[in-house]
Amino acid sequence: MNRNVEIKAILRDRYRVESIVKNLCTEPMEILVQHDIFFPSPRGRLKLRIFSPESGELIFYRRPDGKEARTSLYEIFPTDSPLALRQALEDALGITGEVKKTRTLYMIGQTRVHLDRVESLGDFIELEVVLHSEQTEEEGQAIARDLADKLGIHDNDLLAVSYVDMLGKKER
Please report, for the domain that includes residue 117, its CATH number: 2.40.320.10
Q: Report which secondary-structure segment, H or E, holds 148.
A: helix 137-150
Q: Which structural domain, as residue segments, surrounds residue 65? A: 2-171
Closest to 36 in 3D by CA, of 76, 63, 68? 76
Residue 31 zone, left/alpha/beta (φ > 0; ψ -120 to 50; rest) = beta
Domains held by the chain: number: 1
Q: What pLDDT is stored for residue 169 in this prediction?
A: 73
* Helix, strand or coil, per DSSP, at residue 143: helix
* Helix, strand or coil, per DSSP, at residue 80: coil
Residue 172 binned pLDDT confidence (cut-offs 50, 70, 90): very low
Residue 170 binned pLDDT confidence (cut-offs 50, 70, 90): low
Q: Is the pTM above the cut of 0.85?
A: yes
Least confident of 13-22, 75-84, 159-168: 159-168
Q: What pLDDT is stored for residue 151 in this prediction?
A: 97
Count how many residues are written for the chain: 172
Compute the distance between CA of residue 64 and CA of residue 88 in angstroms, rounded to an integer: 28
Q: Which residues contact 13 (CB under 8 A, 6 or more apart)?
A: 152
* Helix, strand or coil, per DSSP, at residue 138: helix
Cα-only R_g, the chain: 16
Compute the distance between CA of residue 81 and CA of residue 84 in angstroms, rounded to an integer: 6
Cβ atoms within 10 Å, residue 121: 16
